Amino acid sequence: MSHEALAESVLSRLGLSEANPAAATGDGHWLRGSGSFAAEDPSSARLLARVGRGTAPEYDAVVAAAQAAFGRWREVPAPRRGLFVRDLGDELRRQKDDLGTLVALEVGKIKAEGDGEIQEMIDVADFAVGLSRQLYGLTLASERPHHRMMEQWHPLGVAGIITSFNFPAAVWAWNAFIAAVCGDTVVWKPSPKAPLTAIALQRIADRVAAYHGAESVFTLFLSDEAAAGARLAADPRVALVSFTGSSNAGRQVSQTVAGRFGRCLLECSGNNAAIVDETADLDLALPAIVFGAVGTAGQRCTSTRRLIVHESRFEELAARLVDAYTQVRVGDPLDAATLMGPLIDPRAVEAFTATVTETRRLGGQVLAGGSRLTRPGHFVAPTLMRADNSWPSVQRETFAPILYVMRYRDFDNALALHNAARQGLSSALFTLDMRNAERFLSAVGSDCGIANVNLGTSGAEIGGAFGGEKETGGGREAGSDAWKNYMRRQTNTVNWGTTLPLAQGIRFDLH
Ligand code: UN1
C-alpha cells in the first residue's frame, strides 16, 4: 500500500477525519474550539488533517470536568482504578499496529520505533496495574507508648500533562496511567506537532472509561498557542504539572507553578554523552552509538549527542562510524528498510543547518553528513562532527542527528568532559574494565539521572525511574517509586492509650 493510502486508512480506522475537535472532557463529549491548525506529515510536508484550536472556554470545560471527576475517582479503590488501566492496555495491544503507524506518520519516526512507542505504553499500563495494588505506606515506630504512627498516600488532584512531539504517546502514558491508578485525573496538553495521536488515544480512553465509570479521568486540550501551557501552569486547580520539553520552557513552567505552590515534574533537555574507553568492545558499542545518535533522527531527549573516545581507539571508531553513517537508510518512515525518518518541521531543519554551520566555523570538522537532503519532507543526513566539548553548539541540545566526537587521554579527563554539560539526563560508558565501570556509576562518576554500562543512552525501560539532573529538571517519571509524585503523603499518629504523653518529653500538666 502506498504511503498516502496507508495514511488514509489508518486515520479513518482510528476515528480521525479531515477536521478534528479541539478538546475532550473525557465523557464522550468533544469541543470544536475556535479556528484550527494543521497536522502535517513531516516526511512529505503534506497536510494530514486539521485540528480545532482550543481556547479559554474549552480549557475551562476540560479542567472543570477533570476536577469534578477527581471528587469521585479518588474514592474508587486503587485496585479497581487499576482495572481501567488494564483494559486500556489491552485496547492498545489490539490497536498497536495502527497506532504505531499513526505515530510514524505524524512525527516521522520509523514504524519500528512507532510500534515501540505503543509497546512502551502497554508496558506502563502493565506496570500501573501492578502498582494499583502496591501503593504502600509505612508503619513507623512511635516514641510514645500506646501510639501508632503510619504514613498514607492519598490521591493528589488534577494532573496537567504537557508532552512533546517526539514521544507523542508514551510520555502521556508514563504520567497518565500512573496518575490514574493513584486516583488523580488528567488534563493532557500535547504538542501541537502531534495532535492526531493524542486524539486517537483519547478516543480509546473515552471508550474504555465508559465501561469503568472512569469518565473524565482522562481529558484532552489541544492548542497551537504558546499560552496554552502557561495557562495550565498558572491554574491553581491543577495540583501537579508534568512537563516534557526544552529547559527554557521548563524553567518558565516551573517558576509559574512554584509561584502558586503547585507541584511540578520536569523532564527537560538532555545533552547525553557516551564514553568509549581503551578496553571497549567496539562491535557492541558501534550499533548502540548509532542507534543512540540516529534513532528518532536524534530527536529523543535521550539521544546520544557527544561521544568521548580514548585516543587509542579514536581513529578506528571514527572510521567505523563514518562507514556505518553512510549506510544508514534515510527516507519514508513506513518503509521497513528505513533507519532514519525526517525531522519534525522546517524549523528543526534550520536549527540543524545553523548548528552544523556554527560548529564548522568554530573549527569543527564534518566526518559524515552535514547537510539537508534535497527531497520533499524535512530530511537531513545523519551527521558526525569532530568538535570540542566547550563550544556553545556542543553545549546546546539541538534536536537533530548530530553526533560530536572528541578524544580523551585518561579516564579522569573523560569523566570531566562528560559532566561538563548543563544538562544531566542520560549517559553511557563502553568498557570491559570493571574499575572504570564501577567508577562511572559511583558518586564521583556520571552526574546524570540515567547511567548505563555497555548499552546506549536512549531506549530506557519503563520499570526504572526516568529523568535527570541539572537543567534536565530533576523529575522522575514512569517506574520505580515515581508514583509518589502523583500522590500526597499523610503522616498519621493514633493514640490508643488512656493518657496523653507528649513527644519530645514535654510536660504540660493541667491542674
Ligand atoms: C523522550 O525522549 O522524551 O529512553 C523519552 C528512551 C525512551 C523515552 C524517551 N524510552 O529513549
Residue range 136-159: average pLDDT?
97
Residue 98 lies in a domain: yes
Nearest to 314 by CA among 273, 290, 278, 363: 278
219 band by pLDDT with thresholds 50, 70 and 90: very high
Task: Answer yes or no: is pLDDT of 52 > 90.
Answer: yes
Task: Answer yes or no: is pLDDT of 511 > 90.
Answer: no
DSSP string, 188-232: EE--TTSHHHHHHHHHHHHHHHHHHT-TTSEEEE--SSTHHHHHH
* 282 and 374 both lie in a single domain: yes
CATH of the domain at 12: 3.40.605.10
CATH of the domain at 427: 3.40.309.10
**Known catalytic membership, residue 268:** no
* 430 and 478 both lie in a single domain: no
The overall pTM is greater than 0.95: yes
Q: What is the pLDDT of residue 489?
A: 98
For residue 207, the enclosing domain spans: 3-268+473-490
Q: What is the pLDDT of residue 344?
A: 98
Q: What is the pLDDT of residue 369?
A: 98
**Known catalytic membership, residue 448:** no
Q: What is the pLDDT of residue 158?
A: 98
Q: What is the pLDDT of residue 167?
A: 98
Matching residue, cell 552535514 = 370
CA of residue 166 to ligand 1 center, whole Å? 9
Residue range 350-369: average pLDDT?
98
* 90 and 220 both lie in a single domain: yes
Residue 76 lies in a domain: yes
Q: What is the pLDDT of residue 1?
A: 83
* 355 and 411 both lie in a single domain: yes
* 116 and 195 both lie in a single domain: yes
* 394 and 324 both lie in a single domain: yes
Catalytic residue among 182, 264, 301, 448: 301
Q: Which residue lies with its CA nearest to atom 7 of ligand 1?
A: 459
- Is 315 exposed, middle or buried (CB count within 10 Å of its CB: 0-12, 13-18, 19+)? exposed
Total count of domains within the chain: 2
Q: What is the pLDDT of residue 163?
A: 98
Task: Answer yes or no: is pLDDT of 119 > 90.
Answer: yes
* 412 and 425 both lie in a single domain: yes
* 183 and 88 both lie in a single domain: yes
453 band by pLDDT with thresholds 50, 70 and 90: very high
Residue range 93-109: average pLDDT?
98
* Cross-strand partners of 453: 429
DSSP character for 330? Answer: B
Residue 119 lies in a domain: yes
Matching residue, cell 541539572 = 470
**What is the distance between the alpha carbons of residues 293 and 287, in angstroms, rounded to a whole number?**
10
* 297 and 441 both lie in a single domain: yes
44 within ligand 1 shell (Cβ under 6 A): no
